[in-house]
Structure 1
Amino acid sequence: MKPTPADWPRLSSSLFYENANEAIAWLMEAFGFELRIKVDAEDGSVLHSELTYGEAVIMVSEGGAERAARFGTPLHSPKVLGGANTQSVMLYVDDVDAHCERARSCGATITAEPVLCDYGPEYWADRSYGALDCDGHLWWFSQRIRG
Structure 2
Amino acid sequence: MSDFSRGKGVSSAVTYVDPNAAFRWLEEAFGFEPVMVILDENERIAHSEMAFGNGLIMVGGEWSENHRSPKSLSGVNTQSVHIQLAPGEDIDAHCARAQKSGAEILQMPDDQFYGDRTYRARDPEGHIWTFGVTVKKMSPTEWDKAAGGSLHTRTRLD
TM-score (norm 1): 0.84
Equivalent residue, structure 2, for 1:143: 133
2:103 pairs with 1:108:
yes
1:11 aligned residue: 10
Aligned residues: 130
Q: Which runs of 5+ in 1 are unaligned?
A: 120-124
Structure 1 residues 9 and 91, CA, compared in 2 at 3 Å: closer, same or farther?
A: farther
Query: Structure 1 runs of 4+ off > 3 angstroms?
Result: none
* Alpha-carbon distance between aligned partners in 2 of 1:41 and 1:47, rounded to the nearest angstrom: 6
Identity %: 40
Aligned mates of 2:54, 2:125 — CA distance in 1: 24
Q: 1:118 pairs with 113, 134, 138, which one? A: 113
Give yes or no for contact 1:9–1:55 (8 Å, CA) kept in 2: no
Q: CA deviation at 1:134?
A: 1.6
Higher relative contact order (CA 8 A, sep 6+): 1
Higher helix proportion: 2
What's the RMSD between the two structures over aligned residues? 1.3
The one-letter code of the counterpart of 1:92 is Q
Deviation track 1:96-127 (CA, whole Å, cap 9, x = no partner) reads 101000000000000001100013xxxxx100
Radius of gyration: which is bigger?
A: 2
Contact 1:17 1:61 in 2 (8 A): yes
Kindly provide the amino acid, as one letter, of the partner of residue 76 in structure 2: A
Q: 1:50 to 1:9 in 2, by over 3 A?
A: farther
